[in-house]
Chains A and B, each alone.
Chain A
Amino acid sequence: MTSSAATRLTNDLLAPVFRTSGRFYLIVLALGAVVLAGLSAWMYQLYHGIGVAGIRRPVFWGFYITNFVFWIGISHAGTLISAILRLANATWRRPVTRCAEAITVFALMIGAMFPVVHLGRPWLAFWLFPYPNERGLWPNFRSPLLWDFFAINTYLIGSTLFLALPLIPDLALVRDRSRGWRKRIYGALALGWRGTPRQWHRLETAMHIMAIAIIPVAVSVHTIVSFDFSMTMVPMWHSTIFGPYFVAGAIFSGIAALIVAMAILRRVLHLENYLRPLHFDNLGKLLLMMSLLWTYFVFAERLTIWYGNEPSEMAVFWATQRGAYAPLFWTMVACNVLIPFPLLAIKRLRTIAGTVVASTTIIVGMWLERFLIIIPSLANKYLPYSWGTYRPTWVEITITAATFSAMALLYVLFAKVVPIISIWELKAGEPSAVPSAVGEPVQPFARVAS
């Protein structure tokens, strides 16, 4: 890429970092207010106890665990998709990867918070950590909850590094265009990056290795989250299909979240030249494929349960098909299949607007799916005398709303402080002339450099 083209590209993509509009502050203020409301609700719960939430016998997992599974699922958008596209050397990935990787890190941070919120007494969360202690106990390594701890933290560390490493050259770009305190901060973050061939080669090698390592970690994370359920003898949970079913659902919801995030970024940051219809079209095709895969898993799960006709499982089955939870179940089916299918399958409808509408309904549908996996099974356990209901309280609803705001707020702030599209990867993706042996025969210098 010539330097004039590189300068133009750099100017475009660094503009949001250097220019701040009034709209940015308004958005931050609005999102921050909702996050504060969520924090206040959590403080209220801490003060009054977990009883202010709607979880009570027999439904001990409610909105909080639904949100936990949902956000861990959303986190599969970024690193996994980015790593696969990077390994496949898909050139269209270049403007998409950082948008996706940021979703992973923020969604994981939000998701990992929910078990702590759910604890009721979060000051005892350290009981989960594996270290010798005065209680004479180590955590039970046979517990899926402890597997979660290791899996989520491994994924969070891996994803953060996967996001941070390719940021270094772009932070150096910001450093070189900044002055004063901003230059000092970006200088420290850029770690003294200069762009030598050795640094570029090591960066690309590191990203390649991390991409290989992070894909199985991403798959393992949601498989392990599914073990929280499938290792338990609860109707419709104790199933071997849960691992791949959860992973498929996670990638499905993750791609949907990525499309929505990209569309908003494109509009707000004026990135129309970089996030093009082609990217939405390609991601739309992936989303369609995941929608069909998700449908297959739901069908396979439901068919085997229905065919087995085991009474306790059938109680949950019918509760979701035509009982109290049926409206939510059929809304989920509409959101995940019926509405997105035509929008994604018909090429003329697979536009930016079409994919965004499909993705939005899928995000709603996948949240409902997580809810429907958890609540009906707990509410309809083996003995009918122990059946119960669940009704979320304002505390849970406020905290849930706050997490969506927190996600948006973190994303807005991230896009403000770093280029949301990887500049160096975009430059590297531009076609350049094939290097050739050039030049006239050269005479050696009188005495070569020592």
Chain B
Amino acid sequence: MTTITATYDDPESAQRAFEMLRTAGVSSTNIVVLSSEPLEQYAFGRDESHTWMPWLAALGGVVGGTLGFTLTATAQTLWPLQTGSMPIITLGTNAIIVYELTMLGAIVTTLLVFLASAGLPKRRTSLYDPAVAEGKILIGVKNPGAAVSKEIVQRLREMRGRVNVVDV
């Protein structure tokens, strides 16, 4: 797959290039943006802002808490200790373990959802340019089509980008 990339020194130039591509009709799913810092205040950083992560984390918490309750209550029922007519299942003390496992469930689920939704871990076969590590911002167009490639390259150059055409 052919990809045209352009690297920019600052986010403002990158935003101009991004907006130029969008306005010219390139679908945002075909535009790749890479940076070494979060740039959510810019247009290219806003498209990805929807996530179910908080809800899934809460669900993970519920699952963790349920597991905690099941662990403690089942153990106390199957291996009852002599409690002198006090309850066998001690909700007050079990609540501590239920609480800890609720939080652990939420934390671990957050990690899993983060990895899954960010596409990690991944062997680096996708488009990348080490110049990103030097603070450059990469704007790329995936699979631009032969008819418009030259025009895209020219316009990205006009916007002071260092342009490359790569096969990924």
Checking B118, B121, B145, B152 against A202 with a beta-carbon cut-off of 8 angstroms, the contacting residue is B118
Contact B33 A197 (CB under 8 A): yes
- How many A-B residue pairs have C-beta atoms within 8 angstroms? Tell me: 250
Cross-interface CB contact of A439 among B20, B72, B90, B127, cutoff 8 Å? B20
Q: For residue B93, which residue of chain A has the nearest CB?
A: A142
A438 within 8 A of B: yes
Q: Please state if B35 and A200 are interface contacts (CB–CB under 8 Å).
A: yes
Q: Chain B residues near A447 (CB, 8 Å)?
A: 145, 147-148
A201 and B134 form a contact (CB under 8 A): no
Q: Is B84 an interface residue (CB 8 A)?
A: no
**CB distance A438 to B16 under 8 Å?**
yes
Whether the pair A213, B135 counts as a contact (CB closer than 8 A) is: no
**Interface core residue of A147, A194, A224, A428 (most chain B CB under 10 Å):** A194
Instruction: Please give, as numbers and ranges, the residues of chain A lying within 8 Å of B47 by CB-CB distance.
Output: 197
- How long is the Cα–Cα vector from A3 to B11 in the complex, in angstroms? 9
The residue of chain A having its C-beta at the shortest distance from the C-beta of B135 within the complex is: A6
User: What is the CB-to-nearest-CB distance from B48 to chain A, in angstroms, rounded to a whole number?
Assistant: 4
Instruction: Assess whether B6 is interfacial by the CB under 8 Å rule.
Output: no
Tally A residues with Cβ within 8 Å of B.
77
Q: Are A4 and B43 in contact (CB under 8 A)?
A: no
For A429, the closest partner residue in chain B by CB is: B37
The CB with the most chain B CB atoms within 10 A, among A165, A197, A435, is that of: A197
How big is the B interface, by class?
A: 35 or more
Which residue of B has the minimal Cβ distance to A9? B135
Q: Which of A130, A173, A194, A206 lies in contact with B124, CB distance below 8 A? A: A194
Contact A201 B30 (CB under 8 A): no
Q: Is the CB of B104 within 8 A of A157?
A: yes
- Interchain CA distance A301-B119 in the complex, whole Å: 52
Assuming the contacts A3-B10, A154-B103, A444-B25, asked whether A197 and B142 have C-beta atoms less than 8 A apart, the reply is: no
Given contacts A138-B76, A213-B61, A213-B110, could you give 4 more A-B pairs where the C-beta distance is less than 8 Å?
Answer: A7-B135, A194-B124, A202-B51, A448-B145
A7: contacting residue among B37, B119, B134, CB under 8 A: B134
CB of A140 within 8 A of chain B?
Answer: yes
The distance from the CB of A182 to the nearest CB of chain B, in whole angstroms, is 14
Cross-chain contact B53 with A205 (CB below 8 angstroms):
yes
Are B110 and A201 touching (Cβ within 8 A)? no
29 A-B contact pairs sorted by A residue (CB < 8 Å): A3-B137, A6-B37, A6-B135, A10-B134, A141-B75, A147-B93, A147-B97, A150-B96, A154-B104, A154-B107, A157-B104, A169-B36, A177-B130, A194-B127, A200-B37, A201-B40, A202-B48, A202-B51, A205-B54, A209-B53, A209-B110, A210-B107, A213-B61, A217-B107, A432-B41, A433-B11, A434-B41, A444-B25, A448-B24
Assess A202 versus B53: contact at CB under 8 Å? Given A10-B134, A141-B97: yes
Chain B residues whose CB sits within 8 angstroms of the CB of A450 once the complex forms: 30, 143, 145
Assess the A187–B124 pair: CB atoms within 8 A. Answer: yes
Please state if B144 and A427 are interface contacts (CB–CB under 8 Å): no
Which residues 246-277 of A sit at the B interface, judged by CB distance below 8 A? none
User: Which chain A residues border B119 with CB–CB below 8 Å?
Assistant: 192, 198-199
B21 → chain A closest CB, angstroms: 8
State how many angstroms separate the Cβ of A342 from the closest Cβ of chain B.
Answer: 40
Query: Interface of chain A, helix or strand or loop or mixed?
Result: helix
The CB with the most chain B CB atoms within 10 A, among A7, A138, A168, A433, is that of A138
From B39, B103, B124, contact of A200 by CB (8 A): B39
Partner of A150 from the list B36, B100, B135 (CB cut-off 8 Å) is: B100
Q: Is A39 an interface residue, CB under 8 A from the partner? A: no
For B75, give the chain A residue with the smallest CB separation.
A138
Name the residue of chain A whose CB is nearest to the CB of B92: A142
Contact A147 B96, beta carbon cutoff 8 Å = yes
Chain B residues whose C-beta falls within 8 Å of the C-beta of A201 in the assembled complex? 38, 40, 45, 48-49, 51
**Does A220 lie at the interface of the complex (its beta carbon under 8 Å from any beta carbon of B)?**
yes
Given known A154-B103, A209-B106, contact A3–B9 (CB-CB < 8 A): yes
Asked if residues B132 and A195 are in contact (CB atoms below 8 Å), the reply is yes
A195 and B132 CA atoms in complex are apart in Å by 8
Give residues of chain A (344-380) contacting chain B, Cβ–Cβ below 8 Å: none
Nearest CB in chain A to that of B32: its residue: A196
Is B118's CB under 8 angstroms from A199's CB? yes
Q: How far, in angstroms, from A274 to B107 measured CA to CA in the complex?
A: 30
- Whether a CB of chain A sits under 8 angstroms from the CB of B34 is yes
0/1 interface trace, chain B 152-168, chain A, CB 8 Å (1 if under): 10000000000000000
Q: Does A449 contact B (CB under 8 A)?
A: yes
Q: Which of A3, A136, A213, A438 contacts B103 (CB 8 A)?
A: A213
